[in-house]
Amino acid sequence: MVSKFNTFYRHIIEQEREFPEATGQLSDLLADIALACKVISLEVNRAGLIDILGFTGDENVQGEQVKKLDVFANDILTNVMKQGGHICAVCSEEEVSFIPIDEKFSKNKFVSNKYICHFDPLDGSSNIDVNVSIGTIFSVYKRITKSGPGALEDCLQKGYEQVAAGYVIYGSSTVLAYSAGKGVHLFTLDPSVGEFLLSSENVSIPKKSRIYSVNEGNYSGWSEGMKKYISHLKMSDPETDRPYSSRYIGSLVADFHRNLIYGGIFIYPADVKNLKGKLRLMYEANPLSFIVEQAGGRSTDGDKRILDIQPESLHQRTPLLIGSEEDVLLAEKFLKEG
Ligand code: P6P
């Protein structure tokens, strides 16, 4: 339980003071992201009331029907980032390529655009029309190139290079989770004052759980090892807390957030339809892996640590096993044994 009243901005400023070299730009950048997500939260919560539901008729780079709220969230985040002046490139799951941003967008010439951001502006958007929780996922890296607009090399860094990452879940309440490398902290939006208020500090994920989260509709396309692992979880053995409970919302941020708090393993493995898995490395796997490791959990593709994967392209996909450390280790063992 949190004993002190604190806002997201005050919290990141306090964290900033622990980094002597901090210039305050990362704090401002994170505050910009929180601002954009407050606006998105307002729209998501009004979506049922105004004619923003339904399809724009367009398709995104993933070939998925784009919902109007996806477009709205993408535009808000991109524009807030551009105006903030702290970044040299924006990479969005909704955009075919990265958006380079030159210093000219910086209102204050002394603000160097030394970061880059990756976003999944509204993950789980297929659930918008049925009032299931959806979310924004974000990831921040320091640029590699020295100045001017960002380049592709700035955008294709390994996940362990992230300086901050987090997500906002638009559910029964709007909750922001982030880490800047010193633990995972949760904030709940108080719409009456328009502030994210600290609700949990230094969140840690239970080392072992009784919850697994996977789309069992893909069972026939799984590897033998994956089939054996899920069957193992379903067997009755009180000594090893089995059978596990199956919980699958179909909205990654919602499934991840539940597992972060209660413990659990989320798996989206490779299958015959998705040979590289379905989830995106840069927009989903890396930021959530940063968070889960900061919370004491584990995240791999079944073989390699997600944060160690060298990205080859912006939209590349990866199998993902993420959550409670002991559960992920056991799942890896089944997958490797086949
Ligand atoms: P499936 C939503 O489209 C998403 O990207 C994630 O939020 C979610 O975990 C996954 O896809 C669900 O995929 O194939 O189970 O519907």
Instruction: Tell me which of 3.30.360.10, 3.40.50.1390, 3.40.190.80, 3.30.450.260 is the CATH number of domain 211-337.
Output: 3.40.190.80
Question: With a threshold of 0.75, does the pTM exceed it?
Answer: yes
Residue 69: what pLDDT? 87
Q: How many whole angstroms separate alpha carbon 224 and alpha carbon 258?
A: 28
pLDDT single digits (tens) 2-26: 556 799 999 998 888 887 777 788 9
Tokens 């089944």 sit on residue: 334
pLDDT single digits (tens) 259-281: 999 999 999 999 999 999 999 99
**124 CB within 6 A, ligand 1:** yes
**259 CB within 6 A, ligand 1:** no
What is the number of other CB atoms lying within 10 angstroms of the CB of residue 44? 26
**174 CB within 6 A, ligand 1:** no
Residue with CA at minimum distance from ligand 1 atom 9: 252
pLDDT single digits (tens) 86-135: 999 999 999 999 999 987 655 555 668 899 999 999 998 878 778 899 99
pLDDT single digits (tens) 182-216: 999 999 999 999 999 999 999 999 999 999 999 99
**Averaged pLDDT, 228-257:** 97
Distances (CA, A) of 110 to 22, 113, 114, 144, 158: 15, 9, 11, 19, 28
What is the number of other CB atoms lying within 10 angstroms of the CB of residue 48? 11
Residue with CA at minimum distance from ligand 1 atom 12: 250
Residue 51: what pLDDT? 54
Residue with CA at minimum distance from ligand 1 atom 2: 124
Domain ranges of the chain: 8-200, 211-337
pLDDT single digits (tens) 149-171: 999 999 999 999 999 999 999 99
Residue 129: what pLDDT? 79
Residue with CA at minimum distance from ligand 1 atom 10: 250
Question: If pLDDT is split at 50, 70 and 90, which confidence band does 286 have?
Answer: very high
Q: Which residues of 4-17 are buried (b: 16+ CB within 10 A; e: fewer)?
A: eebbbbebbbebbe
Q: Which of 69, 212, 251 to mutate to test the pocket of ligand 1 (most atoms within 8 A of CB)?
A: 251
Q: How far is the CA of 186 from the centre of ligand 1 (A)?
A: 23
Tokens 């967008």 sit on residue: 105
> For the chain, where are the alpha helices, taking DSSP H only?
8-16, 25-46, 68-84, 152-155, 224-234, 252-262, 286-294, 325-337
CB 280 within 8 A of CB 91: no
By 3-state DSSP, what share of the chain in percent is helix, strand and coil, each rounded to 5?
A: 35, 25, 40
Tokens 């979880």 sit on residue: 233
Q: Which of 93, 214, 268 to mutate to test the pocket of ligand 1 (most atoms within 8 A of CB)?
A: 268
**246 CB within 6 A, ligand 1:** no
Following DSSP, what letter does each residue of 278-293 receive, concatenated? SSBIIIIIHHHHHHHH
CB 127 within 8 A of CB 155: no
Strand 211-213: give its sheet, edge to edge: 245-246, 211-213, 265-268, 320-323, 298-300
**251 CB within 6 A, ligand 1:** yes
Residue 20: what pLDDT? 77
- CATH fold for the domain made of 8-200: Fructose-1,6-Bisphosphatase; Chain A, domain 1 (3.30.540)
Q: How far is the CA of 90 from the centre of ligand 1 (A)?
A: 23
**250 CB within 6 A, ligand 1:** yes
Q: How far is the CA of 250 from the centre of ligand 1 (A)?
A: 5
pLDDT single digits (tens) 46-97: 876 555 555 566 777 776 665 688 899 999 999 999 888 899 999 999 999 9
Q: How many whole angstroms separate alpha carbon 86 and alpha carbon 72?
A: 22
Q: How far is the CA of 126 from the centre of ligand 1 (A)?
A: 8
Following DSSP, what letter does each residue of 111-153 receive, concatenated? ----EEEEEEEEETGGGGGGT--EEEEEEEEE-SS-SSS--HH
